[in-house]
Structure formats: C-alpha cells, structure tokens
Amino acid sequence: MRLIEIFEESISVLKTNGMRTALSALGIIIGIGSVITLMTLGQASQQSVKNRIQSLGSNLLIVRPGAQRSGFLRGSASGNTTLKYSDAKAIEASQRINTIQKVAAEYSSRTQLVYGRNNTNIQVSGVTGEYFDSRNITLTVGSPITEQQNQNMEKVVVLGPTVVEDLFGTNVNPIGKSIRINGTSFTVVGVTKSKGSSGVGNSDDIAYVPLQTAQKVLFGVDYISTIYVTAKNDDLMEAAQNQLGFLLLELHNKATPSDADFTVSSQADILETATEVTSTFTTLLTGIAAISLIVGGIGIMNIMLVTVTERTMEIGLRMSLGAKSRTIITQFLTEAVVLTITGGMLGVLIGVGASTIITKAMSLPTAISYQSIVLSVVVSCLIGIIFGWYPAYKASKLQPIEALRYE
C-alpha cells in the first residue's frame, strides 16, 4: 500500500471510533496544553520581574545591613542595624568615590495610617531628598519629599495610589489633607504614579515621609534599612561597587571584606537571583505537567492494543492476501502517530489560548513560548512512535491462519 492510502485508512479507522479516539487523545491534549501554559507563565513571570527590577534603574547599587553570601563581599552573619544615616552622608561627601552621582537613604517599617474612619496598615518609608530620583519614582500630583523637609523633620507624607484609595476612596485629590501615622498628624503633599508589584513588594502600597522624621518622630531608631547609590553610568558599576565596599569597611572599622557587616549589590545581582528562582519553579511545574504526556502515551498504547485485538481477523485476511509485516506495522504506527499529532495540535491551541487568557488576567506580559510549541509537536510524534510501535509490532507478528480463526 502507498503511504497516502495508509494515511487515509488510518483517518477512516479513527473516525469510526470517534469517542474512543477522543478519549485516547485527551491525555496528550491535557499534557501538551499544560506544558505550554506553564512554560509561558514561567517566562511571563520572569519578564515581569525583569521589567520591574529594571524600572528601578540599571545603574543602581543597593547597600543593606548584614553580610551577604555571594557577590562583592562575603562575611559572617550580622544584625540589621549596622547601617547609619551617617554612612549615607559619608558616601555622598567622599572625595575618594568618583563613580557615583546620587545617594539616597531609607528606613522602612510597618505602621497604621488613619484618615477619619478609614485606616490601613502599610509600609512607611523614611527617605532623603534623592530617593525618588534614585528609584525612578514619579508623581501624578504634588511634590516629592525634599532634602530640606528631611533636615527640618517636617511632618509631610507622599502616598502610593493604593493607600490613597484605601484612605480617601476613588477620584479624590488628597493633597493638603491631614492623616495620622502612628498617632502623629501628617500633611499629604504628593501621590506617586502606579508601578505595581516588583516581586518583592508593592510600591503602590507605601507611604513616604522624611527620613529623620521617621527615625526620630515615628519609630525612635538611629539606623537605616537601605542606602541607594546611583552610578554615573553602567560601565562604572563594578568600580562604584568596589569603592563603596571599601569605604564602608573603613567607616565600620572592618579590617577585611570577610568581616563586612553590610551587603553591596546591583540590579544585575537581584535580577539574576530572581530569574534563577522563577526558572526553577517553571522547570518544576513543567516537569510535573509533562508526566501527563507519559500517561497519555500509555493510554494510546492501551487503545491501540485493544484495536489490534478487535481487528485480528482483518489483519489475518490482509496477511493471507500478501500484506507484509512491514505494511501492518506501518498501518498501526500511522494510526498512533496521527492520533498523537492531532492531540498535540489541539493541545497547542488550548495551551496558547489558556496562556493568553491567564497572563492577561494576571496583568503579566504575554510571552508565548514558541520553544514549547515546537517541543510539543516533536514530543507528540515521539509519543506516537514509541507507544504505537509495540501494538503495531504485535499485530505484524500474528499468524494469518490463527488470525483468521480468531473470534
């Protein structure tokens, strides 16, 4: 028989048992659809995290208290109170560091904000004048925290859009209104533009006050949470990181980098870590979804074995009329491959559709994984060949006389 005739007959046989064919392909459809969906969601999540992190600025260095396990410096464990506002001012005033242009300090803690009968418990960040520029935070209305307000310990606050909605409701301009933070009255002077979640927090759900106001009026602390340093350009990032590290070692009276009680990291370091985490989870979930492909393949093999049993007399008749074992193998193998490829194509359509719907619902960038589509088609063919070969081989080994006698 010619291949075209074998293919046409395979289609005819599969159509004859439509319900069985559909149930056999269901495992492949679900498996491939799940693989494509999860791989796409994983890539979309990675891209979303990458976009959020890069939106903070590609030339941003972040100094945090406590030693790190990788990167510029390695040191022993330390507390989270080792950074002081004086460290930020020393970095800004240092003549030895010629690779930076902006320095901003921050202290963050959670507390309650109240306006009338409405209240919310959120993160309140005390910041210096360069903070908003360093973090690429823009305002929709009002003005940011200034260095003069910080030095004067003024009781002013800039709110994220989510905080404004929680306290004042929608379509309300809060500028000039008074709210209470931790029992102290503050005047709203600005509202930030929505940026959404960055994977480590939601910048829309934060209130910003002058740093020294936060330290001395609200929380009573003498340390800070983070120092943000902006390098002059991307090419100077490594040099700036080293200069910062060695200056802070001197300021903290540490002899060697192994004694460091702080961490200096870049956006690239954070992005690499976030990508590794999301990639690991994507791989894990995709592996779990791929198990259903194996289950689907086994289901197809079982159905083909049943088909061989049902068509034993047909096989015997063909072989008695001169059909070769190769022809019988080709016939049943073609049926299995057609079944799996059809299921694979439907799985691709379902996977792409589900990925598009879910990413849009989650406000993620829709990044269809074309590698997963190609992989799915290849896997479909392999499943058809691997799991269809044994039933086809079994059919080809039937003895014509015994097959004709089969009932």
* Domain match, 297 and 389 both: yes
* Domain match, 217 and 320 both: no
* Domain match, 108 and 215 both: yes
Residue 270 lies in a domain: no
How many domains would you assign to the chain? Answer: 2
Residue 213 lies in a domain: yes
Predicted local confidence at residue 44, as pLDDT: 80
Residue 143 lies in a domain: yes
Residue 269 lies in a domain: no
* Domain match, 322 and 399 both: yes
For residue 203, give its domain range.
Answer: 104-225
Is the full-model pTM beyond 0.75? Answer: no
Residue 70 lies in a domain: no
Over its length of 407 residues, how does the chain's per-residue pLDDT go in tens digits? Answer: 566 766 676 677 677 777 777 877 787 788 888 888 888 887 787 777 766 665 655 688 889 888 654 444 444 344 478 899 999 999 999 888 888 888 999 999 999 999 999 999 999 999 999 999 888 889 999 999 999 999 999 999 999 999 999 999 988 899 999 999 999 999 999 999 987 654 445 778 999 999 999 999 999 999 999 999 988 887 888 888 888 889 999 899 887 888 888 888 876 666 666 677 777 777 777 777 677 777 777 777 777 777 776 666 666 676 776 767 777 777 777 877 888 888 888 888 888 888 888 888 877 777 776 777 787 778 777 877 787 777 777 777 766 666 555 54
HEC string for the chain: CCHHHHHHHHHHHHHHCHHHHHHHHHHHHHHHHHHHHHHHHHHHHHHHHHHHHHCCCCCEEEEEECCCCCCCCCCCCCCCCCCCHHHHHHHHHCCCCCCEEEEEEEEEEEEEEEECCEEEEEEEEEECCCHHHHCCCCEEEECCCCHHHHHCCCCEEEECHHHHHHHHCCCCCCCCCEEEECCEEEEEEEEECCCCECCCCEHHHEEEEEHHHHHHHHHCCCCCCEEEEEECCHHHHHHHHHHHHHHHHHHCCCCCHHHCCEEEEEHHHHHHHHHHHHHHHHHHHHHHHHHHHHHHHHHHHHHHHHHHHHCHHHHHHHHHCCCCHHHHHHHHHHHHHHHHHHHHHHHHHHHHHHHHHHHHHCCCCCCCCHHHHHHHHHHHHHHHHHHHHHHHHHHHCCCHHHHHHCC
* Domain match, 198 and 284 both: no
* Domain match, 43 and 108 both: no
Residue 320 lies in a domain: yes
* Domain match, 329 and 215 both: no
Residue 248 lies in a domain: no
Predicted local confidence at residue 216, as pLDDT: 94
* Domain match, 108 and 200 both: yes
Tell which of 225, 245, 269 closes a domain: 225
* Domain match, 219 and 108 both: yes
* Domain match, 206 and 311 both: no
* Domain match, 33 and 124 both: no
Residue 334 lies in a domain: yes
Predicted local confidence at residue 119, as pLDDT: 93
Phi first, then psi: give them for residue 268, nearest 5 degrees.
-65, -40
* Domain match, 200 and 304 both: no
